[in-house]
Structure 1
Amino acid sequence: MNEHDILPALVELQQLSGSPTMAYIVDKIEVTDVGIVYECLRALGRVESLNLILYAGGGNVDAARHIALLLHEYCEELRILVPDHAQSAGTLLCLGAHELVLGTMARLGPIDPYITASDSHAPGGPNRISAEDVRALTEMARTWFGLDGQAAGRHALEMMSQRIFPTTLSSFFRAHRNIRNVGRELIAYHRSDLSADERGRLVDHLVDGYDSHTHVITPAEAQKLGLNVVVPSLREEQLMWRCLHSLHRWLKGDLDEDGQVMKIIANSQGFCAELTLVGVSLNSLEGRMPKRVWGIEERSAATISGAEE
């Protein structure tokens, strides 16, 4: 376990803010994370205010929603701190915070949903397609080829139906509707001061207001969009980055026989869970998947050293 990298930073962040602090640092948000998040929150107990350090490059929409609602079961005020990226499903989770603390390098992103299109008949086609890309076909037919609205819609549907099984198309429709519903549900925590219509327009912009799913929404852009954004202090940002240290080693490909960290879920009271790849070195994978193993340790906060630098 690499808890020495993260627990002292979480303890100091709690001291700075006066609120218990938790870290959810993952490559992507998955359904299997929910149980570990619950264990972390249960170890912390119900609190008035909670800080969550978030790092996530995307993931499962329904898991992000579940985690957001679970966090609110354990606190009255949720503050999410983003040192690096919290994109796609990570941005969706951010909508559930009362306040966003975005560091200099923080990146949010559009929340348009992607689904797997494994039954596509087009050889070499993408395995995952955005629902917004499907919706854009009608606009493309109208803009590029001069078809009127109804003709453009019929042409787009005929073209897609030849290449994608009809129930996959309906899955795109449901995913698109689901992301808007979840976004509206979560942003009610973030901007309760706005009307439902105003919150809906903000979510709509995050879903279909960008031409690229990888568009980077900077802190300044997020604030201009209408999100409740504050700037961390210099020390807060330093500590936020310290929490990413273990995961960054894995992202650089530093995998050895002892395993490397893929996910960290921890709190300032001494709970630390790590998901590691174990048993296979990076250079000898040979098409095999290494084992993914969760390890959980709990320590007394009084035994955590190095909180001060």
Structure 2
Amino acid sequence: MIDQVTPDSVTLLAECLHDVEPKKDIHLLLRSLGGDPEAAIRLIRMCQDATDKDFVVLVPEQAKSAATIMCLGANKIVMGPTSDLGPVDPQIYAGARGFVSAKDLIAAVKSVLKDVDEHPNTMQIHAAMLAGIDSTMVQFAQSAIDRTGDIVRQAIASNDKLGKGEVDKLCQNIQGPLIEAPKMHNAVVGYREAKEVGLPVSRLKSSDEQWKLIQGLWARYFAIGPANALCAYEGNKASQVQVQQ
């Protein structure tokens, strides 16, 4: 799966999962800058439901935001030297701006209100800069932030191999480092940081044959088109690959 996480991802990935064998692990190569956290929960549940074994996420490059949420619901996360998870920082869809960090949007509005209060003559400039952002969008962003803890719990609890105590502990471990502390939406969370909060990660070195295979597969997709323009969902039989213009 190489794409933004959106409601459409549910249908596209479901097609790939249609013919999987329940007695085998599911390995999902995931590259995404994030997207809709609610859709991420549905994707996790689909993957967990499709196998009686383990749901394993392979991260060759970036699996940020909502894609990190998908990783929280995995039984195993395979990472290497180029792997990058991120803060569990909800994004919202802001029209022409695409997906934006809810934290960043609220911080920007607060900064503008403070600046206008101190320097009223800047109102027109700020109004132009924040065109399209209204109070409803700001409230939606705040609601998304308030729901982050519930989203994290739903993601982790989707792994039914974890007991309630294990779910509680992992949620507590994640709260600070991945939700509250990060100052930037694009903050890097590598193997070491993921391991420290208790995520089920395994690290492969660049010399490892399995990592070479993962990187080789990712490189083939990367060669099709720029990573940020590529949309790919592929399974044993289903294939949807597009390069967006």
Q: Which TM-score tier does this pair reach, normalised by the shorter chain?
A: 0.7 to 0.9
**Residue type at the aligned position of 1:43:** D
Q: Where do 5+ consecutive residues of structure 2 fail to align?
A: 115-125
SS at match of 1:67: helix
Q: Sequence identity of aligned pairs in percent?
A: 23
Q: Which residue of 2 aligns with 1:149?
A: none
Answer yes or no: is 1:274 the counterpart of 2:244: no
Which residue of 166, 179, 185 maps to 2:148?
179
Which residue of 226, 229, 240 maps to 2:214?
240
**Residue type at the aligned position of 1:207:** I
Aligned counterparts of 1:42 and 1:128: Cα–Cα separation in 2: 29
Aligned counterparts of 1:89 and 1:215: Cα–Cα separation in 2: 14
Aligned counterparts of 2:110 and 2:230: Cα–Cα separation in 1: 44
Moved over 6 A (4+): 137-140
Q: Which residue of 2 aligns with 1:204?
A: 175
- Alpha-carbon distance change, 223 to 263 in structure 1, aligned in 2, over 3 angstroms: same
SS at match of 2:35: coil
Q: Which residue of 1 aligns with 2:190?
A: 218
Aligned counterparts of 2:10 and 2:140: Cα–Cα separation in 1: 24
- Give the CA deviation at 1:276: 1.6
Per-residue CA distance 1:177-225 (angstroms, 9 max, x = gap): 3332121111132982544543332342322220111011111111112
Q: Which residue of 1 aligns with 2:65?
A: 88
Question: Higher strand fraction: Structure 1 or Structure 2?
Answer: 1
Please say which structure displays the higher CA radius of gyration: 1
Q: Which residue of 2 aligns with 1:227?
A: 199
Aligned counterparts of 1:196 and 1:95: Cα–Cα separation in 2: 11
SS at match of 2:25: strand
CA contact (8 A) 1:110 1:207 kept: yes
Aligned counterparts of 1:127 and 1:80: Cα–Cα separation in 2: 26
- Alpha-carbon distance change, 250 to 27 in structure 1, aligned in 2, over 3 angstroms: farther
CA contact (8 A) 1:191 1:228 kept: no
Q: Which residue of 2 aligns with 1:112?
A: 89
Aligned counterparts of 2:92 and 2:230: Cα–Cα separation in 1: 27
**Residue type at the aligned position of 1:276:** Q
CA contact (8 A) 2:170 2:199 kept: no
- Alpha-carbon distance change, 244 to 138 in structure 1, aligned in 2, over 3 angstroms: closer
Q: Which residue of 2 aligns with 1:192?
A: 162
TM-score normalised according to structure 1 size: 0.62
Question: Higher helix fraction: Structure 1 or Structure 2?
Answer: 2
Per-residue CA distance 1:120-169 (angstroms, 9 max, x = gap): xxxxxx776533236658998xxx9xxxxxxxxxxxxxx9xxx7533222
- Give the CA deviation at 1:106: 0.6
CA contact (8 A) 2:36 2:91 kept: no
**Residue type at the aligned position of 2:57:** I
How many residue pairs get aligned? The number is 223
- Alpha-carbon distance change, 176 to 166 in structure 1, aligned in 2, over 3 angstroms: same
Q: Which residue of 1 aligns with 2:139?
A: 170
Q: Which residue of 2 aligns with 1:32?
A: 8
